[in-house]
Amino acid sequence: MNVLIKSATIVDSKSDFHNDTCDILIQKGIITQIQKQIENTSKFKEVTLDNLHVSQGWFDSSVSFGEPGYEERETIANGLRTAALSGFTDVAVNSNTNPAIDSYADISFLKAKAQGNPVNLFPIGALTKHSDGEDLGELYDMTNAGAIAFYDYQKPIKNPNLMKLALQYASNFGGLIYSFPQESKISGLGVMNENVMSTSLGLKGNPTLAEELQIVRDLFLLEYTGGKLHIPTISSAKSVALIRDAKARKLDVSCSVAIHNLILTDDELKTFHTRFKVAPPLRTQSDCNALIEGLKDGTIDIVTSDHNPIDIEHKKIEFDYAKYGTVGLETAFGALHTIFSLKKSIDLLTKGKERYGLESIPIAIGEKAKLTLFNPSENYTFNKDMLHSTSKNTIFEGHKLKGKVYGIYSNHQLVLN
């Protein structure tokens, strides 16, 4: 599709046009002109939107859909549509389906389902067969099929020798191993942060110690094996300190944080609403502050929506029995922009691709057009009617957000709200 984007402020620190307000002409998927004013002599589709800003396409490193097996939560087609309308041109999709994505054929299935879509889907294969934590999955075969990393989504690897073998084996082909930071025997049946709040509410607590012990174990294993480790969705101040120290010792470790863990605290659980039941749990304000500081100094590499749709039958029940998870694609930018500047918010949303060997394309003449279109200044209160996801379990319902997404241009296609 040929498109002329009119009067757009470019937010891209890697572009010569950073902070300039320009017209952008896209022909056959390539940016052919960037000028203050471009005449639409060829009658291309023209995009004129209020306070329009554009950036490189956004990337989310942890997205869950339902297909195959849990299509009532989210299909791949609707999940990718939701990603596009939320500003994401690239998403890494978790293996928590039924059956789990743990073979060459499964990875090929996901990629085939996403073929021709404006959003690029990058599969994360299951680390162990069936994600049951017993035997390593077919890591090399899945890499050949297009898997970019390996993760049993939100399932800790209890056996340290299995994690050691995974790091050693994957190092032969540069595979990235995820390890969910939770020591199960310490976390036990905890459903929220162990704190004064859990005691007052009468809910079983999951202490930060469970997260930190697992991180310490995995960092020792990484030092021993010399592999390549990613620790997803950390949530505590001490976790930040541990990873900061590991990076100072030149270990090949990266980590991410879920956007809701930057903003919301365990005080939200006073309502007992299950939309606040997430893994890892919401922690304290001091943890939020440490996580934000970790992003500012580069200790934390990536922010993620950790988008995890859950059907109403598994969410609208007693707190102890409800499943963990929140949808997050639609609120990612609006929430992040409430705590960071525009430049920092966009830097965080476009960061992380290099960890997975994915291309990062600047906004420049002659480059492929992969753009996110948005208005950074609009303030609003988020509600369920704004969701595109099939599931409606949004943790940010009723919260004030800043910045709305118009859509994306990617893979020769324009998608607008």
pLDDT at 269: 96
Whether 62 and 36 share a structural domain: no
Whether 100 and 148 share a structural domain: yes
Give the tens place of pLDDT for each residue, 114-125: 999 999 999 999
Whether 7 and 147 share a structural domain: no
Give the tens place of pLDDT for each residue, 74-92: 999 999 999 999 999 999 9
Whether 219 and 125 share a structural domain: yes
pLDDT at 242: 98
In-domain check, residue 395: no
pLDDT at 49: 98
* For helices 208-225 and 237-248, angle between their N-to-C axes, nearest 10 degrees: 10
129 lies in which domain range?
A: 56-356
Whether 307 and 158 share a structural domain: yes
Give the tens place of pLDDT for each residue, 331-368: 999 999 999 999 999 999 999 999 999 999 999 999 99
In-domain check, residue 384: no
pLDDT at 186: 98
Contact between 235 and 291 under an 8 Å Cβ cutoff? The reply is yes
Whether 147 and 32 share a structural domain: no
Give the tens place of pLDDT for each residue, 10-68: 999 999 999 999 999 999 999 999 999 999 999 999 999 999 999 999 999 999 999 99
Placement of tokens 């996580």 in the chain: 291
Contact between 45 and 4 under an 8 Å Cβ cutoff? The reply is yes
Alpha-carbon distance of 21 to 11, in angstroms, equals: 9
Q: pTM for this structure? A: 0.96
Whether 79 and 21 share a structural domain: no
pLDDT at 130: 97
Determine the 3-state secondary structure of 164 from DSSP: helix
Whether 61 and 143 share a structural domain: yes
In-domain check, residue 387: no
The residues carrying an active-site annotation are 306
For 204-217, the DSSP string reads -EE-HHHHHHHHHH
Whether 158 and 28 share a structural domain: no
Contact between 55 and 88 under an 8 Å Cβ cutoff? The reply is no
pLDDT at 371: 98
In-domain check, residue 172: yes
pLDDT at 389: 97
Q: Strands 413-416 and 400-410: what pairing?
A: antiparallel
Whether 61 and 44 share a structural domain: no
**How far apart, in Å, are the Cα atoms of 100 and each of 19, 131, 146, 323?**
44, 6, 16, 18
Count of domains observed in the chain? 2
CATH number at residue 409: 2.30.40.10
Whether 130 and 236 share a structural domain: yes
In-domain check, residue 139: yes
pLDDT at 378: 96
Whether 104 and 169 share a structural domain: yes
Alpha-carbon distance of 417 to 52, in angstroms, equals: 13
In-domain check, residue 391: no
CATH number at residue 254: 3.20.20.140
